[in-house]
Every structure is written in C-alpha cells, then in structure tokens.
A and B are shown apart, each in its own frame.
Chain A
Amino acid sequence: MSSIVIQDVSKTFETKDGSVQALNHVSLSIESGDIYGIIGMSGAGKSTLVRCMNFLEVPSEGNVLIDGKPLSEFSPKELRKEREKIGMIFQHFNLLMQKNVLENVCFPLYIQGKKKSEARAKALELLEIVGLADRAKAYPAQLSGGQKQRVAIARALASDPQILLCDEATSALDPQTTSSILELLQNINQKFGITIVIITHQMSVVREICTHVAIMKDGEVKEQGLVEDIFNHPKSQVAKELISRDSGSDMESKKLTQPEIQNGEIVRIVFSENSAFEPVIANLILTFHEPVNILKADTKNVGGVAKGEMILQFMNGSTNVPEMKKFLMERGLEIGEAN
C-alpha cells in the first residue's frame, strides 16, 4: 500500500499583495520504503508540499492520505497522534538550543508522556545509531552543522516513525557533510524500512540516494518517476535543466573542443549497466578509422547503479555517421539529441 498519497492538492496563501498559489493540483503517490526526492528551485512549492504531508499546512483543496487514511478526517488530537508516525527534519535543524543533545532527543518522547528513564534509554540508543552517543551532554551550540542534523535525525526517529520528511536537510551543509548525512538516511531507510521524503534543490542529493523523484516548478509536478529513468530520459525542460546543472559543475573543464573537429553533428549517448565496462568509443574509432570528439563525459552513481553519459561530436561532413550510430546502438547504448 502506498505510504503517502497526495490527491489533487492545491494550496493558496492569502498575502497583502493578493493570493499566491503555492501548489496547483499536485498528485503524487509515495510507496512504503521509497526514498522519494522532490526537487525544484526555490519557490517551486516543494516546502509547502512536504508540510501538507503532516498537515503543518492544511491544503486548500485535495486530500492527503497516510496509509490510506485521509488526514483531513482526523480531529486535532488524532492528528497530533498521527504526527508521531511522521518524523521531520529541517534545513536549520530546529533543535532546542537551551537543552542538551540527550534532552533534545527525549523531547518527542516527553511530549508523548513517556517516563524519563524510558525516554533516556531510547534516546541513547538512537544517538548510538547516528554516531553521537559521546556528545549526549553537549548543547547544540557546541556542535557542527552535520552533528546538529544527526541529533535532529535521532530526535525524528525517537517516536518510531514510518515516514521521515526531510525539508532541505542538507542545504546548510558542506558537500562532505551532506554525503555523510545522506548515507545515514540511506542506512536508516534500509535498516528500519522508513519511507523517506527528501525536499531539495540539489540534483546531486537526488541521484545519490533517491529511488524516485518528482520535479516541481511553479507549484506543479512537471515530471515524476524512477530516478534512473528521469536521469536517462528527462522529458520536461526543468528536468533537463536540473540534470545539466548537476553535471555542469564538475564537467566545465572537460568541454575543450579539438580544432580538427568543428561543426560536426553532436549526439548524447547514455551507458546503461550492461555497457559501461566495454571500451565502446575506442572500438568505434578502431572500426571506422575516424576520430570522434568527446565534448563531455560523466559517470554518476544513480540509485546505486553506475551510469555514464557522453556528448560526442562526429567529424564535419563525415559519411559514416549513420553507420557509427548503428554501431553504438548495437552495443546497448542509447542515442539522443544533445541539448
């Protein structure tokens, strides 16, 4: 059964300058055990969407189902109870600054009326999982950003949730810390089977750990599906932009064009798991005795599978191009237009 179902949800905010539509008829279905990425630029509505999933924001239209039950039918008290099943972490961690690490993790348990000794035992266990057991007595101000987020994760796990919502959880962290937090989230997903929803504007986050992704723009979901499919065949303009921006940063230096080959046809080829290890390009050149220019090459870890992508340019006026394309396709590569 789907863990979270968003049914035709719209959300309008009334502001001084008129009403703003943050979400426009959004529908999504997130399966139990998924790591579901929701990506978009700022202002795309993704933070509003994730807040609809625990009713911190009540949708203006549409419904949200958690385990098949619509949140709108809960009384305020039942809703609070339901929220215990939905953990949440935030960009700025949102820890209690006046309480130490241990008390922060105990906090949700105290709210539920658990005994102090019971809460502490559970909290220590969770701090062990996130690797911060030795900092139990420290205060948040004494921790680094990555450590604070680990505390926040432990706190979110305290009430044994089935769902963990992450609102830009790594956006305030450096790349290295981001990776370690993502790794932790992945472990949690595998170990406890918790469904994880990740809101982010960084494509790298999606490709590192997400199984599914929805791409948002202007309050609408433009594209959704398996991360692998969307990386290989982005359909919407915004998806293409996000993917090219993601690879752009580390590929800039490799975009040198050799002077011999200019104005030739440019194609984008995609390696799948079966073809990534054969020296296809080298074989291509040896077969046709003709150079091709590699304008861009990139391999990524997409959902745990090595994925490669190349932009090739053929020689200007070459008559072998159709044959060469056929050669590549026969070896399991996908050929598309470069953008």
Chain B
Amino acid sequence: MWTKQVTDMIIAGVGETLYMTLFSTFFGYVFGMPLGILLKVSDKEGLRPNSVLYKILDVIANIFRSIPFLILLILLIPFTRFLVGKSYGTTATIVPLTIAAIPFIGRMVESSLNEVDPGVIEAARSMGASNLQIVFKVMLVEARTSLISGATIVTGTILGYSAMAGTVGGGGLGDIAVRYGYNRWQTDIMLVTVILLVVLVQIFQTIGMLIANKLDKRK
C-alpha cells in the first residue's frame, strides 16, 4: 500500500503546506505589521495617542482572534470566493489563513514594540526625530530580534492552522492526514504526515532563532 503514488502525494502535500504557510505569513505581515505599529503608536503611552483609533483596532483584533479558525474558514467562504474565484483548494485557503493571521501578527508586533526602551525613543525625540523616523529608525530596529522570534512563532501557528484547513478541502499535509489517516484508518500515512509537520515547525523555529540571535547585538 506504500506506493510511489502515496510518496508523490506526500511530497506534493509538503509543497502545498509550505506554499500556504509562507504566503499567508507574508500577506499576514503586509497587513499585520501596520496594524501592530498603529496599535503601538495610538496607545495612550504611544507617540501619538489616539484613544478612539486604538479602541477600534483593539476590538477588531480581539474579535478576529477569538473566532475559532475552523468557523472563520467557513464564515469567509463568500469573501474567499469573491477574491480567488473558488472557495476550496490551496490558493483559496490562503485567504482565511491571512485573515486569521493579521490580528495575531498585529498583537505580536505590538508587544515586540512595547519592549523598546522608552528612554531611547525619548533620546530620538530630543534629537528632533519625527514620529515616522522614530518608528522606522528606532522602534523597528531596536525590536528586530523580538520581531523575528515573533515571526517564527507566527509561522508555526499558521502551519498548524493550514493543517486544519485540510478538513475543508484546503490541501496540504493536514488534508492528507485527515483523508487517509483519519477517514481511511491508514495510521502509517497519518503518522508520516504528522512527523513531517513537526519537522517543518522545527525547521522554521531553528532558522528563526538562528537569525534572531545573529542579529541581536545586546550581548
């Protein structure tokens, strides 16, 4: 039963999982990064406090973070169909994955930026830096180690979500694990896909931490 067909399928599954994870993480950061920066800047201790804006972003982020991913996946079907043209398949899955990732990434970015020493920001202000310069030349630079370890966690989480998307026809390793391992009782196939998922998370984690440590000049 362990045929070339199965092997090919699993290799394709790895490719699909990576495709979904990496693209969703990328698009997640495209929107999540500005969200995190806006949260930090509009915070009452921020560079430009704006309690209304902060509250709105805060509530939206919390709502999307509290909806279980599987439910979000289904709720977003019309939106996904509108964007991609169909609601199933690997490419379509990127849409709900990205939507789920944005508020999560926003929070990760916000908390990384919170770690930046307020004294350094004050020093930059005393030199005549504008808020934009402080964000890009001080906060993002000083927080880069934390931002990268955050990105590592985000990637791992999205990888986990992408496996869940398999249940609704999303493709990837999760899909294989559910269809063959769970529905057809082929435990060996399930085991292999799960191990591959673990290995993928491990690889992302190791690479992320290596880069973060390499860039950290605080020690």
If A94-B117, A98-B216, A110-B137 touch, whether A88 touches B126 (CB-CB below 8 Å) is yes
Residues of A within 8 A of B125 (CB): 56, 83
- Least CB distance, A245 to chain B, in whole angstroms: 28
- A111 to B145 Cα, complex, angstroms: 23
Residues of B within 8 A of A56 (CB): 122, 125-126
Query: Is A114 in contact with chain B by the CB < 8 A criterion?
Result: no
> Main secondary structure on chain B at its contact with chain A?
helix
Residues of A within 8 A of B129 (CB): 80, 111
Residues of B within 8 A of A87 (CB): 126-127
Query: Is B179 in contact with chain A by the CB < 8 A criterion?
Result: no
Q: For A95, give its contact among B120, B128, B144 (CB under 8 Å).
A: B120
Query: Is A84 in contact with chain B by the CB < 8 A criterion?
Result: yes
CB interface residues, A 202-217, toward B, < 8 Å: none
If A97-B217, A100-B217 touch, whether A84 touches B127 (CB-CB below 8 Å) is yes
Query: Is A112 in contact with chain B by the CB < 8 A criterion?
Result: yes
If A56-B122, A111-B127 touch, whether A98 touches B117 (CB-CB below 8 Å) is no
Tell me how many residues of B have a C-beta within 8 Å of chain A: 24
Query: Is B218 in contact with chain A by the CB < 8 A criterion?
Result: yes
- A137 to B64 Cα, complex, angstroms: 45
- Do residues A94 and B137 form an inter-chain contact, with CB atoms below 8 A? no
- Do residues B127 and A98 form an inter-chain contact, with CB atoms below 8 A? no
Residues of A within 8 A of B126 (CB): 54, 56, 83, 86-88, 165
Residues of A within 8 A of B145 (CB): 98
Query: Is B138 in contact with chain A by the CB < 8 A criterion?
Result: yes
Select from chain B the residue with minimum beta-carbon distance to A84: B128
If A96-B138, A96-B142, A98-B144 touch, whether A141 touches B127 (CB-CB below 8 Å) is no
If A88-B123, A96-B120, A96-B141 touch, whether A141 touches B128 (CB-CB below 8 Å) is no
Select from chain B the residue with minimum beta-carbon distance to A83: B128
Query: Is B130 in contact with chain A by the CB < 8 A criterion?
Result: yes
- Do residues A107 and B137 form an inter-chain contact, with CB atoms below 8 A? yes
Q: For A111, give its contact among B119, B133, B217, B219 (CB under 8 Å).
A: B133
Query: Is A81 in contact with chain B by the CB < 8 A criterion?
Result: yes
Residues of A within 8 A of B83 (CB): none
Residues of B within 8 A of A112 (CB): 128
- Do residues A107 and B215 form an inter-chain contact, with CB atoms below 8 A? no
- Do residues B127 and A159 form an inter-chain contact, with CB atoms below 8 A? yes
Query: Is A92 in contact with chain B by the CB < 8 A criterion?
Result: yes
- A84 to B141 Cα, complex, angstroms: 22
If A110-B137, A111-B137 touch, whether A94 touches B120 (CB-CB below 8 Å) is yes
Contact string against A for B residues 175-219, beta-carbon threshold 8 Å, 1 for contact and 0 otherwise: 000000000000000000000000000000000000000011111
CB interface residues, A 108-127, toward B, < 8 Å: 108, 110-112
If A88-B123, A92-B119, A94-B119 touch, whether A81 touches B218 (CB-CB below 8 Å) is no
Which A positions have Cβ atoms within 8 angstroms of B? Answer: 54, 56, 80-84, 86-88, 90, 92, 94-100, 107-108, 110-112, 139, 141, 152, 155, 159, 165
Q: List 5 A-B contacts (CB under 8 A).
A: A56-B125, A96-B141, A98-B217, A107-B127, A155-B127
List the 10 closest A-B pairs by CB distance, nearest first: A94-B123, A83-B128, A80-B128, A88-B126, A94-B119, A108-B127, A139-B217, A84-B128, A111-B129, A97-B218
Please give 4 more A-B residue pairs, beta carbons under 8 A apart, in addition to A88-B126, A96-B138, A96-B141.
A82-B128, A96-B142, A98-B141, A107-B137
